């Protein structure tokens, strides 16, 4: 039960593999699993395997801030 709770609380937006797809039918994607889905990829992994996403990796903070700093300097 803890695995299901953990998987449901996994926020794909905070994962470095997560992306938003151009495909309106499958708007969420995971580069780690190479999938696009109607639901968050972590939820799909739980549904298919019964286990929480094991590829979740926290995004590196500051990446967007560095890009914004470079744009301001120009």
Per-residue pLDDT of the chain (74 residues; tens, 9 = 90+): 465 565 566 789 999 999 999 999 999 999 999 999 999 999 999 999 998 999 999 988 766 666 666 666 66
Nearest by Cα to 59 from 1, 6, 18, 22? 18
- Model-wide pTM > 0.75: no
Q: 19 forms bridges with which residues in the sheet? A: 29
pLDDT at 37: 94
Give the model's pLDDT for residue 21: 94
**Counting Cβ atoms within 10 Å, is residue 56 exposed (0-12), middle (13-18) or buried (19+)?**
buried
- What is residue 2's predicted lDDT score, i.e. its pLDDT? 62
Residue range(s) defining the domain that contains residue 10: 2-73
| Overall number of domains in the chain | 1
Task: Give first-to-last CA distance, the chain, whole Å.
Answer: 52
């Amino acid at each position: 039960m803890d695995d299901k709770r953990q998987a449901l609380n996994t926020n794909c937006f905070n994962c470095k593999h997560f992306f938003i797809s151009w495909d309106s039918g499958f708007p969420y994607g995971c580069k780690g699993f190479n999938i696009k889905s109607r639901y968050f990829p972590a939820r799909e992994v739980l549904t298919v395997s019964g286990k929480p996403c094991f590829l979740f990796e926290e995004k590196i903070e500051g990446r967007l801030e560095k890009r914004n700093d470079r744009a301001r300097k120009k």
